[in-house]
């Protein structure tokens, strides 16, 4: 989805103003709220039974201006591969191409295989919307269908319930997990807990009456909770059924916090990486993403080929995707520096300040909030101070003793740079549109003059344009040297 006309045209104006010879046009790419690079469906039902069959239909929608690629994997209740025929034969893994601003629908074909249930996951290289529809066929015609949105792993789940409620729970991780189910009845009684044990990649589906025989058709509430929280996140989905046997969908019941940081990191990384590649400053093989579970608050870029994000950093940033986008953009800025042999575009001698500008730029192009850089740096400044969570950030040239003050300086420089860009004749109208959408009630700031930035050590626009051409030349040479290397952005 793109904002049309003048809306969200900040980045084309900024880069055309400073990098006048830039051969590309960047446009901020906001995403639908449900779009994600990891989509999970906690229930799949497919196959024949006496008198009818269940059919699963997977729909994927790509709102991006570039084609997307997705891998769909199916697992049965034991955690083994679950073959499903979508027209290419019985397979448990299906590679799908989704056209730009287009969609794809996969409907399972009739077969003589008995009904099987399980779950599915989708790994995509760009955020996608999706849904799974479960269609009941009787006597050769479809008689009922219910559609479920994708879900993300959660530690807690809540749902409307009655005795016929259908419940599906799946394990998205390669280790066993346990989940408890409890039912709060209409008269205030608490039934359970009932223990659900799942093998790695396992799945189960049941009706409420199966685990809570005392349940009736009165309105109740089902609660699911992981036993070993927050390590054992699970997938869940519920389907309403009334006394007449009519099915209906229910709203997702994921309870946050906590969020699934692993999925969040992947989603933000792929969005920002895609935006960075659109600028032609990230070319060749995509840097490999490494997610580390060590108890550190940090991120790094290494050798021009790898970006690492520690789980502790994502947890510190909480549920702010925009703050994480700035951090990812910062590290991709280091990738640009490393692939260009250390050449800095924005600042002549400080790799961190140079990467900060890349971070803000790449985050904005991705459709995230540019001001989130201040939020990320503020939290990191707190972590370097009395909180004692970390001593240093971003593989860093900043002395440990000076880290806290440096974060404050970095917040100021990012803000000042953005302020200058929005003070230009070309950038001002675009920035006003950007502000009216994301920050309509923030006060207007006084423009910053280019002389102020130059006194602070930043390059002049003319020098940046000249350096940009040198940077592209070096990056082209690096890309030629790395031809044939595997793409680190692929997970399949």
Q: Which pLDDT tens digit goes with each residue over 32-66?
A: 889 999 999 999 999 999 989 999 999 999 999 89
- Range scoring the smallest mean pLDDT among 41-55, 76-90, 159-173, 235-249: 235-249
On average, the pLDDT of the chain sits at 83
Angstrom CA distances, 367 to 343, 354, 378, stand at 27, 21, 21
Q: Give the pLDDT score at 386.
A: 46
Q: Give the pLDDT score at 489.
A: 58
Domain-embedded: residue 16: yes
CA-based radius of gyration for the chain? 25
- Domain with residue 111: its CATH number is 2.60.290.11
Residue 491 CB: number of other CB atoms within 10 A?
Answer: 14
Q: 237, 258, 279 — which closes off a domain?
A: 258
Q: Is residue 171 classed exposed, middle or buried when 0-12, 13-18 and 19+ CB atoms within 10 A define those classes?
A: buried
- Are 393 and 468 members of one domain? yes
Residue 14 CB: number of other CB atoms within 10 A?
Answer: 24
Tally of structural domains, the chain: 3
CA–CA separation, 370 vs 366, rounded Å? 10
Angle between helices 403-421 and 351-365 (to 10 degrees): 50
Tokens describing residue 80? 């083994």
- Are 306 and 392 members of one domain? yes
- Are 473 and 365 members of one domain? yes
- Are 124 and 210 members of one domain? no
pTM of the model: 0.84
Domain-embedded: residue 62: yes
Tokens describing residue 21? 């010879």
- Are 131 and 166 members of one domain? no
- Range scoring the smallest mean pLDDT among 154-158, 185-189, 359-363: 359-363
pLDDT at 12 over 50: no
Domain-embedded: residue 241: yes
Cβ atoms of 149 and 60 closer than 8 Å: no
Between 399 and 177, the more confident residue is: 177
Q: Give the pLDDT score at 433.
A: 65
CA–CA separation, 355 vs 130, rounded Å? 35
Domain-embedded: residue 1: no
Domain-embedded: residue 429: yes
Q: 211, 239, 258 — which closes off a domain?
A: 258
Q: Give the pLDDT score at 28.
A: 58
Nearest Cα neighbor of 186 from 208, 218, 144 is 218
Q: Give the pLDDT score at 349.
A: 80
Query: Domain of 329?
Result: 10-31+259-481
- Are 390 and 276 members of one domain? yes
Q: Give the pLDDT score at 379.
A: 85
Q: Give the pLDDT score at 446.
A: 47
- Are 270 and 237 members of one domain? no
Tokens describing residue 421? 């860009």
- Are 299 and 383 members of one domain? yes
Q: 135, 170, 203 — which closes off a domain?
A: 135
- Are 253 and 268 members of one domain? no
Sequence-distant (≥ 6) Cβ neighbours of residue 402 within 8 angstroms: none
Domain-embedded: residue 271: yes
Domain-embedded: residue 144: no
Once rounded to an integer, what is the mean pLDDT over residues 210-221? 95
Once rounded to an integer, what is the mean pLDDT over residues 287-315? 93
Tokens describing residue 443? 């006060």
- Are 241 and 361 members of one domain? no
Q: Give the pLDDT score at 256.
A: 87
Tokens describing residue 433? 């549109």
- Are 322 and 444 members of one domain? yes
- Are 63 and 124 members of one domain? yes
CA–CA separation, 264 vs 78, rounded Å? 27
Phi, psi torsion values for 14, nearest 5 degrees: -60, -50
Question: Residue 416: pLDDT band by 50, 70, 90 thresholds?
Answer: confident
Domain-embedded: residue 489: no
């Amino acid at each position: 989805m793109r904002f049309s006309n003048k809306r969200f045209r900040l980045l084309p104006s900024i880069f055309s103003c400073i990098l006048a010879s830039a051969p590309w046009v960047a446009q901020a790419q906001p995403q639908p709220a449900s779009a994600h690079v990891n989509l999970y469906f906690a229930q799949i039902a497919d196959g024949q039974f006496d008198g009818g069959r269940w059919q699963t239909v997977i729909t994927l929608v790509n709102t991006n201006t570039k084609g997307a690629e997705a891998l769909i994997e199916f697992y049965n209740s034991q955690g083994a591969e679950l073959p499903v025929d979508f027209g290419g034969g019985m397979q448990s893994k299906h590679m799908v191409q989704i056209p730009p601003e287009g969609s794809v629908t996969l409907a399972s074909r009739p077969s003589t295989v008995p009904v099987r249930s399980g779950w599915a996951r989708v790994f995509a290289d760009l955020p996608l919307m999706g849904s799974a529809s479960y269609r009941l066929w009787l006597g050769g015609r479809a008689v009922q269908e219910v559609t479920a949105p994708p879900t993300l792993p959660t530690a807690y789940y809540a749902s409307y319930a009655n005795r016929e409620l259908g419940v599906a729970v799946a394990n998205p991780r390669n280790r066993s997990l346990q989940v408890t189910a409890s039912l709060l009845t209409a008269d205030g009684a608490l039934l359970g807990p009932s223990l659900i044990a799942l093998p790695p990649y396992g799945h189960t589906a049941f009706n409420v009456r199966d685990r809570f025989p005392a349940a009736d058709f009165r309105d109740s509430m089902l609660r699911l909770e992981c036993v070993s929280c927050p390590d054992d996140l699970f997938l869940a989905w519920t389907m309403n059924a009334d006394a007449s046997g009519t099915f209906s969908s229910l709203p997702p019941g994921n309870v946050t916090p906590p969020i699934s940081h692993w999925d969040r990191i992947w989603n933000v990384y792929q969005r920002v990486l895609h935006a960075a590649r659109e600028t032609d400053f990230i070319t060749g093989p995509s840097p490999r993403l490494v997610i580390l579970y060590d108890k550190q608050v940090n991120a790094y870029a290494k050798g021009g080929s790898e970006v690492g994000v520690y789980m502790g950093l994502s947890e510190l940033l909480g549920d702010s995707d925009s703050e994480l986008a700035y951090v990812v953009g910062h590290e991709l800025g280091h990738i640009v520096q490393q692939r260009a042999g250390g050449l800095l575009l924005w600042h002549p001698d400080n790799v961190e300040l140079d990467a900060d500008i890349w971070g803000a730029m790449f985050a904005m192009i991705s459709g995230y909030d540019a001001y989130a850089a201040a939020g990320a740096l503020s939290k990191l400044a707190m972590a370097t101070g009395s909180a004692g969570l970390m001593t240093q950030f971003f593989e860093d040239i900043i002395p440990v003793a000076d880290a806290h003050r440096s974060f404050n300086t970095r917040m100021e420089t990012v803000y000042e740079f953005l302020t200058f860009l929005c003070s230009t004749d070309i950038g001002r109208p675009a920035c006003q549109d950007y502000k009216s959408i994301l920050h309509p009630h923030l006060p207007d700031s006084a423009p910053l003059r280019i002389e102020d930035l130059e006194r602070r050590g930043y390059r002049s626009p003319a020098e940046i344009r000249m350096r940009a051409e040198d940077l592209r030349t070096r990056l082209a040479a690096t890309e030629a040297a790395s031809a044939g290397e595997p793409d680190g952005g692929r997970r399949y």
